[in-house]
Structure 1
Amino acid sequence: MRLTLRTLLAYLDDILAPSQAKEIGEKINESSYAAATVERIKDVLRRRRNTAPDVIGPNATPDPNLVAEYLDNTLNQDEVEEVERLCLESDVHLAEVAACHQVLTLVLGEPVDIPAETRERMYALGAVGETETAAAEGSAAAAPRPAPARNAETTAGSPAGRETSDEAIPDYLRRRSTGRRILPVLALLLIAAAWLATIVTDQTLLELLPVRFGQQEAVTAVDGDASELADGVDVAQAVGETPAEDEGPPVQPAEPGSQARSSVADGPQPKPIPVASIDPPPPADMPDPDESPVTPVPEPAVEMRPEEQAPAEQPQIAKVTPTEPVPPPEPAVEEPEPVVPAAPAHPMARLVYVDQQGILLKYDPAREGWMASPDESVIHANDRIAAPEPFNSRLLVESGEAEVTVYGGTVAVWKRPSTPGWAHLTLDRGRIGLRVHNLPDAPGEPEFGVRAGGTDYTLRILEPGTLVGLEVTRRQPSGRPVAWTPEPVDGGLFVISGAVRVTDAAGNETTVRPELGWWPWPGSLPVTEPQPLRAIPEWLTDASESATERRLGMLFEREFILEQPVAQFLPTVVKDPRPYIAELAVKALAVTDGYRALIRALQSDHEESRLAAIVALREWLPQDPRNGELLVAELNRTFRNADVTAVEQLLWGYSAEDARDPAISRQLVAWLSHDDIAIRELAFYQIYRLTGRRYDYRAFAPPVQRQAAAARWEEHLRREGALIGD
């Protein structure tokens, strides 16, 4: 049985005979491409927000009828190959065909069972007319079962015939009377009216309403009665001013309206009811209790409502006794609020992401993940951004004085400048281009802060039209370090046009011009002075990208989902059968430090993806002392226990001294014949890095070719004694 896309779909939907299923399963195990296609089919079926192919218009390819014939296995061979080629190139068409095949399998494999009661109800919906009866009799010879006859005698004699069409209609399809439709609406309206009446007549709610009196005296009760504040006493006056000694007793809460207002102004005042205070303690500027004592009040005859009583265990309740005055509670000592650090005196210039094509990632602290930034979004202070390859993102200074280009593979953090300037950039890795169109009108030189390799620098632009490039490259380790120390970075500053004055943290100034246009970061090279620029870096030139790169970028951009963190969908893209898409997905995971998915990418079917994952993990490892523990924990979940130590050591790497050790050299060459492709790829990566030789070895080559290349490396060891001879 041939291994085609249709047989794969039949195998996945379990509609093949047992012998055929066994044969297809063996062929899938023998072919890595077939196994990858099976995984891809499962992935596209599970993928959310998948679009559907057009059914009309110029992009309607292939024709839906053609797909139907393909699923029915009635299509000729030439057209079958065309449909399968389109499905293998497009996830949308592959998902559509696979889903349709699943639906047809379910429908044809499990026919719908119509109950007898439902069938009789359908027959009773109405009698067949004369025309329909004649048509049914005319086709009776061709039909296997003639339609049941419905004549007048049968209708009159059978019980079903006497049943009217209205009686046979189900209850949920019958027309309801107007009263039955209106009654639920009236009931809802009555409930709503009762609810509104309850709210309007609620005395508790009325007491909380702010009632203003034109000539009301200040209330002086020290227990801070909540009802008095609700009657219109100004909040600031109640808590901030010293009450007078000659004021009368507090006023009872009055009903709202004009009658309540007149009763408060002219009518007799009822005796106050001592209500336990539920307010917070009085402020610190409360007068001394000796100067304004609380007059004892006799027990009232009116019974208090339960809602006006406060729990006895609350410490701020003022206890009222009839014999002796009760001093006010001790003023609460307010703890000073933590001092919020003042914002920097120099704001960051407004940077706007203006590219309408491409992807710029921004870290979202709320969702703890990297999200694709929408077009024309603003870059704020402390925003962490990343540009995955092959996308270059342009950021414009809103004043129009300059623009910043963030090249693919860059991770940076934008901060407020410590001195007047555009911004302060912490360049973690990657490349940044700064093009200054004109100098600002303000006096002084425009500044741009940069932090690279743990050191802060200040760039002062001296001339309009200046083009500056910044590059930071992480170093890969050459073995497990004894004690963790920050790894230095490579790269430097490139000046293509104009002039820049660089000032380091110690105040040392260096002017860089195009004739000496390369200034390496201190510590990356023995030299500290600007060096001649032998060639302009290609990434800083104005040469437009090729048509192939644009097409790859457009294809890769379709894999991004704006509403989801990239960690949720990029690991699936790593398994894409297209090598270039899978490689770009691995590099995008690298700029987000997604080490878990990168470790799984070590076993990818594509050499490009494996190499990209090796480089990303080796650059990530020395950045934090905890990364080694994270690596081992994830390796234990992905690899066999016997292989974890080997993968860990290969990722940490070896030095030139290790390459001169015969035992280490033999171990590296022995790993070239390992059964795990990740270990083979890692071992050859280290051998080639140390020696620069290949001997035609490929980790993904067939076993015969791998063994022949490994034999040449063994001959190299016998001849040299180690990977690097004396």
Structure 2
Amino acid sequence: MRLTLRTLLAYLDDTLDAQESKEIGQKLAENPPAQELVDRIRRVTRTRTLSTPTSGAEGGMADPNKVAEYLSDALHGDIVAQFEAACLEADVSLAEVAACHQILTLVLTEQMHVPPPARRRMYQLVKGRESVPDREPGLAAAVGGALEDKKPNESDDADAAYLLGMSAYSRSDSWSRLGLRLAAVAALLALFAVAVWFAVPAAHRTRTEAPRDYASLPATVTTPKSEPAPSTKSSDKGAAPDTGLKTKTDAKKDEPKKDEPLKPDENPKKDEPKKDEPPKAVAPKKDEKIEAAIPPPSADRAQIGKLEKITGVVVRKQAGPGAWTRVMPDQPEVISADRLMSLPGYKSQLRLDSDVLVELWGNLPDLLPAPLLLQSCVVPSVPGPGFDADLTIESGRIYLGTKRQAGAKIRLRFRSEVWDLTLADEKSEVVFELTNILAPGAATEAPRAFAGVAVQSGRVGLKGRGMDAGELPTGGEARWDSRTGKTDVLIKPDPSPLRTAYLAKFPVYPDPQRAKAVLTVLDDFARKISEPMRVRATFDEALQDSTDTPTQQIVLAARAAVFMFAALGDLSGLTDALNDPNRPLIRETAVDGLRSALAADPKTVEDFRKFLIEKSRLSDDQADQVLRLLRGLTDRERNDPDTLNRLVDGLASQALPVRELSFHNLASLIDPKDPTSRSLLGYDAEGPVEVRDKVVKAWKKKIEDLKNGPAEPPSAPAPTKKK
């Protein structure tokens, strides 16, 4: 069965049989554009602000007969294509067809009960033989497939016509049914009373109990302190009235005598802790220094700034499940608590209302050879008191600055750490970077994270949990590793051209020609994403654009699309790239993209495993092997003969992802610049079997050499004199 708009509507309204529904479901799972169309249909049918198609609508959408003919499969093929194109172009047309299909499905599949009084009223609207209300109905079935009862109940309520098919109350109901209803109501009331009883605190339920004898309580029970009441003893007669101020003499009077017995309600030592018990916690004094707990980021959603420079593609997403949508240039508002991401290769700058500048700096390995540095993703929040910005960094690089001469105070959150940066003035600028990487070896170890901040210009104060670096000058750095949990502060790191080039906001590309072609691809993507919801569809089209003789532009676009899927966390697109049958470069890129996506969000590992089993048709053992190979090799495994043998055996696996990842791990063991490695690096996981077998034999020989240790370097030839 073909996947058309009509069959998609039938699938959504559940009018297909089991086999057809299964076929459409499988095709829908493999077709991302169709999934977006399903989400669009569900959205437009719930939109209340949509109007009806106008008389000049394309495709004849205003003609109900044409809509009915389309739903009944009575339109000509050419007209059907024109009609479906009109539905896909306008939401109002798509909503009209989808709503009509839903209504017809309800009418034709569900039996509708028409109340007898309503039927009689309808018959009385016309004159003639049809208006006789007592006439027996014919044998023809009604539209809903249900015939009216031959003997209508005359005792039905006169307003039964307004029940819309629901059963009405009738005085002719039996006493047994009435008793069951009353019993159900009584049971509900009893349950409500019990719920109220348990909801009321016990202290309020015992107010009528007899007053307790506090004199019989143990002496260790404490009661709140209260001001002493004015004395009423005869010895105090004639004394001056109590002014609230006590003299030393009065204080001594309040103290109990040593020989005087204690009254039942008196215990002068009741506030003193016992010798064997630890002292109770007391409220801190005003002069004590207490480190206040750092509150979590605010979850309030409000406009806190706008995007000033959108030179590329910036996407946003609210908390929870949902699709990424593009931030359009005509709607550059920055909403707090929303995730903002500058996709790989794109640079954009946002300016908060507090004049804090945040530049999202995305990268592609073809531009700057840093495979761990891809998207730049942050979550801006409403800043707390004393702060001008509150940013949660999820991944990537950002540049921070301010327009205020007095500087700014910025709170940065990443992983479980919180750093507070203080920019001295408008000339101060810092760069912050957070990268994630899968931990090699053990599957139970969480991904590692590396963070760092470097002062590009001016002076910046840095403070974190258990760390107060003070003020960092230009060139100062702080580096953090999740494995140790410690922060290393370098006031004057060694100046290096590589470090300066790496942290430069405007990088110098190693290969200008290739970088120019990649930038052209990025501009083409930005032009094609003309609507907020066309983010994924644009990258999927680039990945599927494959010809027998692909050009460099097509290959670079597909490679960039894979990194875009990794940034968006789109495991479906990454799985397709990993199973690409014709392009080894795309499969290699998918390996890097999957490692980045799974390291950024470890919760998606199980989802990816399901994709491998259901979409790639791998067994459970093969899926586990793919996940193990994605994590890479530890230092011990690089020298372990059994591990190396398993990798070579993986080159002959039946599963394409296993073969590709086995080769990817083996290639990391050799120097790609070594001329003797050319035959080893010529392996194509989807090439002919006879060609793969030759490379596998070469790898087996290489592994034997690695087991036996490195060969001795050849002796240097004797120097010869130049003629």
Q: TM-score, normalised by structure 2?
A: 0.48
Larger radius of gyration: 1
Q: TM-score, normalised by structure 1?
A: 0.48
